[in-house]
Structure 1
Amino acid sequence: MSDSGHLEANRANWDERVAGHLVGYDTDGFVADAARISTVVRDDLALMAGHLPNGSVRGLSLAHLQCHIGTDTLSFARLGARVTGVDFSGAAIAAARSLTERAGLDASFVQSTVEEAPSAVREQFDVVYTSIGVLGWLPDLGAWARSIRRLLKPGGLFYVRDGHPMLWTMDDETDDDLVVRYPYFATGEPLRVDEATSYIGSAVLSNTVTYEWPHSLSEILGALLNEGLLIEAYGEQDTLPWKALPFMIETDPGGPQDGNWVLPRGRERMPMTFSIAARG
């Protein structure tokens, strides 16, 4: 199967996830609470702040790649940014536009792949943002980095936080401990995944097969550096905003840092996420 065939299989899967994710992400609660910011944006903003004017996105233009149904994008809108969300799923973009209207916010959403985003959007931004669980869906990080460079204004900020490449090698079915099961480095072919449900919500999917590509840290950093982006900061974190492994535990249920998961013991043994701040 070609990359385009893999992409279409993934698109069908993500189109089908939308209905369940509108419930799983509590979009009714998001609409009802005008002060609500997603957990992901809450945590990302703390890492981005030192690279932003006055530590804020207020008044800045921001493009969000692989935005899905828009809860993170619209969280930035609530923080004062002028936002444009981009996603390859038509169903997700339709849901994001509906959510924008329901929440009374101002935002634009464009259906496009990451590679085609600069031509589809036809604008440059102060900030290009992408997070989390995103890079494994992309077969070509060179094309990803070229899009970022074209979307950024000169001197603009690119930010990504994603699952650490080491995390993606772990066996996610064992209850025992950390066990390496999947490749760390690119293999030339994607991994075929067949799952009947999504990571959030309980809806049963009919388009169950997806394809994901492993990317090492050297590949990720190299792609950005090859496009001339200047790495300002690189970080690794020991928390994750979903339960990726069966034995992970929630850090602060109901508290100010809820929504994050950690290893139950020995958190120092492995990073869960990485983050990069780069300048165009």
Structure 2
Amino acid sequence: MDDSFALNKANWDERAALHAASPDYQIKLFIASPEHLSEVVRFDLPRLGDIRGLHAVHLQCHIGTDTLSLARLGAQMSGLDFSAASLEQANRLASTCGEYIEYVEASVYDAAKVLGAHSFDLVYTGIGALNWLPHIDDWARNVAALLKPGGRLFLREMHPVLMTLDQDCEDALQMIHSYFEHNEPQIWDDENTYVATDTPLTATTTHEWNHGLGEIITALLRHGMHLSALEEHTSIPWEALPGQMSLGEDGEWRLNNQPERLPLSYTLQAVKAG
């Protein structure tokens, strides 16, 4: 696991500056408009509800665009990530926008230890995060430990069914990867990141893991969380299946052919027992 984290950390350290410079992350819009929110947070605004005054933490926050968006909605935000380079960009963005956000460098598996148990009203995890974690139970344990009694987890994530598909097949949906969590990671070697850039990565190897929806929910229940909402979506914020998707005005990608046949992402909410 340590080797996997080291490989992934090196990869994300390289991505940070490239992502901050990319129009996809809309850094200039954040700076120019104090009311601007990330497309990921805007998508879930009806589900988030009023978060003003809540003490909240964004786990695996990357360069902090979703974190800043939640702060702009009135939450008192902290952010945690294992990539120092990502947090450097996140701090720079928050400072430029005049927003105080406490950023902490640590593994999500150490979140409760470094941030303090029973400290938060809201734990937020954005899309594209859980696939970098080998064991979902350790994540759920930290989520539950971070929350005050009655506190809420808010999770938007890519659907584990999507993770099973062959992304290189442009004319069919072919399941070739594991749906369930397993010890051995999916190993990728790719010099590209998911934003347009002329700079190739040098830390090209990454390790990922899938976690079935039942495994995620069961882990949360095991650690004293109660499921309060689960909504599956026919959209996702990036072109997950090249050649088979179209971009909507809301910044979400959907299948061209029968989009209702495949869940691409989901929003899950759970509450810690009071």
Helix, strand or coil for the counterpart of 1:116? helix
Distance 2:247 2:123 in 1: 30
Correspondence for 2:35: 35
Quote the offset at 1:236 in angstroms: 0.4
1:43-78 C-alpha deviation (Å, 9 max, x unpaired): 1222232xxxxxx11111110000000000000111
The one-letter code matched in structure 2 to 1:250 is L
Correspondence for 1:17: 15
Following TM superposition, where does structure 1 have runs of at least 4 consecutive aligned residues deviating by more than 6 angstroms? none
The one-letter code matched in structure 1 to 2:172 is D
Of 85, 91, 96, 2:85 maps to 91
Quote the offset at 1:106 in angstroms: 1.6
Mapping of residues 1-280 of structure 1, within 5 Å: 3-24=1-22, 25-49=25-49, 56-122=50-116, 124-202=119-197, 203-246=199-242, 247-252=244-249, 257=250, 259-280=251-272
Quote the offset at 1:131 in angstroms: 1.1
Structure 2 unpaired stretches of 5+: none
Tell me if structure 1 keeps the 8 A contact 2:247–2:253. yes
TM-score (norm. length: structure 2): 0.95
The one-letter code matched in structure 1 to 2:226 is L
Helix, strand or coil for the counterpart of 1:21? helix
Aligned pair count reads 267
* Pairwise CA RMSD: 1.0
Tell me if structure 2 keeps the 8 A contact 1:149–1:229. yes
Distance 2:2 2:175 in 1: 29
TM-score (norm. length: structure 1): 0.93
Tell me if structure 1 keeps the 8 A contact 2:134–2:183. no
The one-letter code matched in structure 2 to 1:19 is A
Tell me if structure 1 keeps the 8 A contact 2:121–2:148. yes
Quote the offset at 1:32 in angstroms: 1.3
Distance 2:116 2:31 in 1: 29
1:99-127 C-alpha deviation (Å, 9 max, x unpaired): 11111112110001111011111261110
Quote the offset at 1:128 in angstroms: 0.4
1:80-109 C-alpha deviation (Å, 9 max, x unpaired): 110000000011111111111111112110
Quote the offset at 1:274 in angstroms: 1.5
Correspondence for 1:53: none
Distance 1:57 1:186 in 2: 33
Helix, strand or coil for the counterpart of 2:20? helix
Quote the offset at 1:276 in angstroms: 1.1
Distance 1:32 1:251 in 2: 24
Quote the offset at 1:29 in angstroms: 2.2
Tell me if structure 2 keeps the 8 A contact 1:23–1:201. no
